[in-house]
Amino acid sequence: MNMLNFATSWQRMLQKCGRIRSGHTYLTSAGLQRKATLALQLHTGKFCVPIMLNNGRSIGVRGLHLLTLASLTRTMQAGKRSNSRSSYFHTESASCFNRAFPEDRDSNGSSEESFLLNSNGRRVVAIGDLHGDFKAAVKSLQIAGVIEEDIPDMMTKDIMHKERANISLSEEELDGLFNFDEIEWTGGDTILVQVGDILDRGGGEIRIMALLHSLRFKAREAGGDVQLLLGNHEIMNMEGQAWRYVSPEAKVEANLYRQFEGQTASETNEDDYNRDTMYLPGYPMNAWISKNKCILQVDDTLFVHAGVSSEFIKPFIGYDKMHAYDAANKIISLYLQGRNDEASSFVPPKKYVYFEDLYWTRIYGGPAVDCKDLKEVLKYTNARRMVVGHTPQRKGINTKCDDRIWRIDVGMSDGVMGGYPQILEILPPSSGNESSVSILS
């Protein structure tokens, strides 16, 4: 029996025995005596979805979220890519695109930086889920006070029509879409945090990322920073689940970006610019996004896409190799790059680590929040509050548990509910006091 059939049969067996439920995959290493990567074949037949089990270390996923991708080079992708392309799976990362995404001059890798960031008296602003809405992203940046100029959305109906009619755009048109060199950072030493979910549901994903990438350089030159976190939609796209929420406009944008880079499908691996594959390990966009953190703490404020529960922390108690949040950043970054063996070495031995919380939990987004559990989580790093996105808030940014949890996903994307952009502003502590929080709109 080959690996795919074996894995599929095993999954069905576990479902029948009640070990896992449909839509949720819970795997442990009990009874497994050797290192193995099990590839579970999606019913669509398009992608291979591996789950890593490694000598007492296991990675939990919700549905097919947080998969590992090393076996792609040996299974579904075998024979599809050139030897040089598949070698990306064994190197640090693929090269970033060379125009809108030049190599970082400073590290932003989750495997290199601590989850802790000292503001040193700097102002912090936080932006919720953007989901491919370029106009909402620009408006958010203006409200945050980090850009002044209004950036028109150049993805007009005329351009969409031209692209779909297979008419090449002019250099000027392409430059207007993806080149943000002239946009100035006006935030001074402000630290900007975006809590994930830039991808999916809208057609401005690449332009949003290119804009934020450009602003990061300029912010750091001014003493500020731009920190981007991973959301569940970034995870899904790097898993190969782009088909779930990608919009037709996003596919158009991806093709236009190929033109912007000055390449045609015949000049390069067409999958580099295919919206269904461009975020997988080995492709240029993965090299940049996979290095974003999943957890960040600035002074006394903890930022994460969906949330952290005490259940996530427990396996790391007594684990002296590194802090739980640093380990999470490193493990997930490495896995998303397809570097499974390295990632598994940072999982606490013989522990089940439930990574779902960080991207998928709704425990902090609904009307009822377990404030006692939240308090325990915050106590772990002496944080005053947690800031999360993920669950759209119809009445805008709000707080619970005596201002210990702030929910900042206002559903601003037209692909979600078209909410008006709001920003969370956190001013640094003064004279020994706690930092202060306000909502900007």
Q: Under a CB-based contact definition with an 8 Å cutoff, are residues 198 and 161 in contact?
A: no
Other CB atoms within 10 Å distance of the CB of residue 418 = 12
Q: Under a CB-based contact definition with an 8 Å cutoff, are residues 38 and 67 in contact?
A: no
Residue reference for tokens 């030049």: 102
Q: Which residue has the higher pLDDT, 270 or 421?
A: 421
What distance in Å separates the CA atoms of residue 187 and residue 58, rounded to the nearest whole number?
42
Q: Under a CB-based contact definition with an 8 Å cutoff, are residues 129 and 411 in contact?
A: yes
**Paired tokens of 79:** 């024979």
Summarize pLDDT for 298-340 with one digit per residue, the tens.
999 999 999 999 999 999 988 888 999 999 999 999 989 989 8
Strand partners, 303: 296, 387
Give the model's pLDDT for residue 440.
98
Cβ contacts of 51 within 8 Å, gap of 6 or more? 7, 25, 27, 37, 38, 40, 59, 61, 67, 68
Can you tell me whether residue 36 is helix, strand or coil? strand
Summarize pLDDT for 257-286 with one digit per residue, the tens.
888 887 655 455 555 678 888 899 888 788
Q: Is the pLDDT of residue 438 over 70?
A: yes
For residue 79, the surrounding DSSP H or E stretch is none
Strand partners, 398: 407
Give the percent of the chain with pLDDT over 70: 73
